[in-house]
A and B are shown apart, each in its own frame.
Chain A
Amino acid sequence: MSNFTTTVRAGSRARRARRLSGSITRVVVLSAIAIAFISPIIFMIVTSLKTRADATAIPPSWIPNPISLQAFASILAPGTTTPVLQWFANSMVAATLNATLVVITASLAAYPLARMQFRGKNFVFVIIVATLLVPPVILVIPNYLIVSELGWLNSLVAIIIPTAASAFGVFFMRQFFVGLPVELEEAARLDGANRFVIFTQVVLPLAKPALATLALLAFLGNWNDFLWPVYVLFSPEVQTLPAGLSTLQSANAVRYDLLMAGAVVASVPVLALFVFLQRFIIEGVSRSGVKG
């Protein structure tokens, strides 16, 4: 009997020790990957603070010597052919307006698809969801013609409006609305409120987390969009940051101090959003997968 308990205890102690060493290995492996993952971003910031000579020095160093704002000063200076500050403003305006448009149109469209009965509802929903599977490439050439017909080529409007037709947004908001308890809306109906009042006064306040997530994802998507702005915006002063970075790279192939400063300018807002709101962003992404 006592022999048996000692064996059991020794066994569980060994198991605990094994589990502990297992979890230490786990943390070590995961931390090593994390360091490898974050160091390129840190090196980008480090290089943006170097002088021209220091940025291409061999061996490369992790500490700028001296710390210099020269690269930022020269790319942010007004009157260059690569107006980074202007690109920053363009990206900010485009991503903000695009995200606003996505949130408004997608939540308005999602509400009747979640809560009302009407003819054609399933048809509309199926068409919208089906376009999620259509490769975006088939839209690029014809959309260029449409945008050109509308007179939006080489203008920020082309970056703001066409991409605001977010099928993902409608799908995402509909899932959220379906999951809301219907009682509050019914109570408001009994009080005689119309659908639009119910939507704005009752439903939207409850949907704030989902609206914030969608706004963030739309903002990030628009901020980082690359192919469309590269081809639709051709004058330097109307470009967004990603398209501008491409221009900056062609103009300064090996001026890595300038390129990294430009990359930092393009990353600061999204990294800041990410640091403060990463829970929203990560949960938004993972929810889109689980429920999709």
Chain B
Amino acid sequence: MAHRQQGIATPWLFLAPYLLLFGSFVILPAVLGVWISLHSWDYTLPNKPFVGFDNYVALFSPGSTVSGPFWGSMRATGIFTLLSVPLLLIVPLAVALLMSKKFPGRDFLRAIYFAPYVLGVAVISVLWRYLLDNNIGLVNHYLGLLGLPDDTAWTTTTPAAWVALVGVTVWWTLGFNAVIYLAGLQDIPIELYEAARVDGAGPWMQFLHVTIPGLRPILSFITIITLLASANMFGQSYLMTQGGPGRETRTAIYQIADTGLRNFQMGSAAAMSYVLTVFLMAISAFVFYIFREKRPRKLDKEVRS
């Protein structure tokens, strides 16, 4: 109860420095972005006339100068997300399951899997563009030694470029997801596994009926952050493929940043960013819906079976 005895201003004084930053660089831009998207806002021109929803209408008008490149980039983001998210959910889980029992050297291996993640997207992209070089790269060299085609142009042709972008991203962030899974696995009480074993459940049944339900909060968390990370992919495409061949691997973020911050068509870019945001929020809501608590129905099923 002692907590209540304080000046009214005290909590706000603590909050003030953060709220100043938060207000200036999170809340203000979130609102300002809407305003910009309603204008023909060319950063380099003095006049920024109000155009209502024209920027949005143009995005949804087939044949307009902005809609083709924008939806092309949304498609690229969609392809990358669809290819990368399942791998980034399943492979790290498999690794975490293999690591869930204690064995000598486990912490060392965990650190190695995590290491690529601390490098940052610029380093890993520059590195992999070298390893994937079609003439002198290590990847084609080893493929050749295995008797496989050794002249794949990993960064300049599709679908090879998608394999490269997804593969590099899996290598880069697998450890991050695995570490979160591992922490989640360790939070599942051992008694649950013992009880399942007493009931005659084999490893697979234990996985389905103990591990997966026990991981559900973690699964929804990882699914959301992985989806958002993949949908926000930029650096790999910018540095490894330069969005090519043509514009095929140019992602939505790439397109938005280039439209707004290279060509300074900020109104249109802001509108694009809100359209992308609506997509992302809808997908997040869908994921929350899938992973929601559904005890009653499950009980029902168990009773019936």
A15 to chain B, nearest CB (A): 13
B211 part of interface (Cβ distance < 8 Å):
no
A126 part of interface (Cβ distance < 8 Å):
no
A79 part of interface (Cβ distance < 8 Å):
no
Known: A135-B232, A289-B184. A116 touches B6 (CB 8 A): yes
Contact of B127 (CB < 8 Å), options: A195, A227, A263, A274: A263
Q: B122 and A226: CB pair below 8 A?
A: yes
Give Cα A260 to B127, complex, Å: 7
Q: B222 and A289: CB pair below 8 A?
A: yes
Q: A249 and B239: CB pair below 8 A?
A: yes
Known: A37-B116, A226-B120. A245 touches B30 (CB 8 A): no
Interface string of B173-197 (1 = CB under 8 A from A): 0111001101110010000000000
Interface-facing stretch out of A1-9, A23-31, A66-74, A204-212: A23-31
Mark out the residues of chain A between 29 and 48 whose CB falls within 8 Å of any chain B CB in the assembled complex. Answer: 29-31, 33-34, 37-38, 40-41, 43-44, 47
A144 part of interface (Cβ distance < 8 Å):
yes
B121 proximity list for chain A (CB < 8 A): 224, 226, 242
A260 proximity list for chain B (CB < 8 A): 126-127, 130
A225 nearest in chain B by CB position: B120
Give Cα A278 to B114, complex, Å: 9
Give Cα A292 to B184, complex, Å: 11
Interface string of A169-211 (1 = CB under 8 A from B): 0100000000000000010011000011001000000000000
Mark out the residues of chain A between 132 and 175 whose CB falls within 8 Å of any chain B CB in the assembled complex. Answer: 133-146, 148, 161-165, 167, 170
Q: A143 and B25: CB pair below 8 A?
A: yes
Contact of A40 (CB < 8 Å), options: B26, B111, B171: B171
Interface string of A204-242 (1 = CB under 8 A from B): 000000000000000010011111001100000000011
Give Cα A78 to B198, complex, Å: 70
A263 proximity list for chain B (CB < 8 A): 123, 126-127
B53 part of interface (Cβ distance < 8 Å):
no
B99 part of interface (Cβ distance < 8 Å):
yes
Most chain A beta carbons < 10 A, residue from B36, B105, B235, B262? B235
B76 part of interface (Cβ distance < 8 Å):
no
A249 proximity list for chain B (CB < 8 A): 126, 129, 239
Q: B3 and A116: CB pair below 8 A?
A: yes
Interface string of B222-264 (1 = CB under 8 A from A): 1000001001101100110000000000000100110011100
Contact of A112 (CB < 8 Å), options: B11, B17, B116: B11
Give Cα A78 to B290, complex, Å: 56
B301 part of interface (Cβ distance < 8 Å):
no
A165 to chain B, nearest CB (A): 4
Give Cα A161 to B21, complex, Å: 8
Q: A128 and B179: CB pair below 8 A?
A: no
Give Cα A224 to B46, complex, Å: 35
Interface bin, chain B: 35 or more
Q: B176 and A285: CB pair below 8 A?
A: yes
A104 part of interface (Cβ distance < 8 Å):
yes
Contact of B123 (CB < 8 Å), options: A47, A101, A267: A267
A262 part of interface (Cβ distance < 8 Å):
yes
Q: A37 and B11: CB pair below 8 A?
A: no
Most chain B beta carbons < 10 A, residue from A131, A135, A170, A270? A135
Give Cα A265 to B109, complex, Å: 24
Q: B14 and A199: CB pair below 8 A?
A: yes
Interface string of B253-284 (1 = CB under 8 A from A): 10011001110001001100110110011001
Most chain A beta carbons < 10 A, residue from B14, B112, B175? B14
Given contacts A186-B2, A286-B183, 15 further A-B contacts (CB under 8 A): A26-B98, A30-B99, A41-B127, A44-B127, A58-B135, A115-B3, A131-B30, A139-B30, A163-B25, A226-B238, A260-B127, A270-B119, A274-B111, A282-B110, A285-B179
Interface residues of A, Cβ cutoff 8 Å to B:
23, 26-27, 29-31, 33-34, 37-38, 40-41, 43-44, 47, 56-60, 101, 104-106, 108-109, 111-113, 115-118, 121, 124, 127-128, 131, 133-146, 148, 161-165, 167, 170, 186, 189-190, 195-196, 199, 220, 223-227, 230-231, 241-243, 245-246, 248-249, 254, 256, 259-260, 262-263, 266-267, 270-271, 273-274, 278, 281-282, 285-290, 292
The 10 closest A-B pairs by CB, nearest first: A224-B120, A242-B122, A286-B183, A112-B11, A289-B180, A142-B29, A109-B18, A165-B21, A142-B32, A162-B25
Interface residues of B, Cβ cutoff 8 Å to A:
2-6, 8, 10-15, 17-19, 21-22, 24-30, 32-33, 36, 43, 95, 98-99, 101, 103, 105, 109-116, 118-123, 126-131, 133, 135-138, 141, 171, 174-176, 179-180, 182-184, 187, 218, 221-222, 228, 231-232, 234-235, 238-239, 253, 256-257, 260-262, 266, 269-270, 273-274, 276-277, 280-281, 284
